[in-house]
Amino acid sequence: MEQKKVGKKLVELENATIFITGVAGFIGANLAGRLLKQVEDIEIVGIDNMNNYYDVQLKEYRLEKLAENKKFLLLSSQPQQLLSHRAL
């Protein structure tokens, strides 16, 4: 059982679904990749606005690598698109 200490409390990550914003960035991509490798039965849902603050091709490469894992889902590269899909 994989647990991580958060403050004074342990958080169980097995069988969890984790939402990561900025998943194409350095921190987000590395966090997602590490969780996918180290935690059993975890699912990662990611989102990133793919701005051009730095190399977009690098961000696309990171997303391609994450997408090789069937437990990774990229909802949208444009967060505003999610708002248009809300249930009525």
Q: pTM for the full model?
A: 0.77
Phi-psi region for residue 59, left (φ > 0), alpha (ψ -120 to 50) or beta? alpha
Confidence of residue 70 (pLDDT cuts 50, 70, 90): very high
pLDDT tens figures, 25-41: 999 999 999 999 999 99
**Beta carbons of 17 and 45 less than 8 angstroms apart:** yes
Tell me what pLDDT residue 9 has. 74
Question: How far is it, in rounded angstroms, from Cα 13 to Cα 35?
Answer: 9
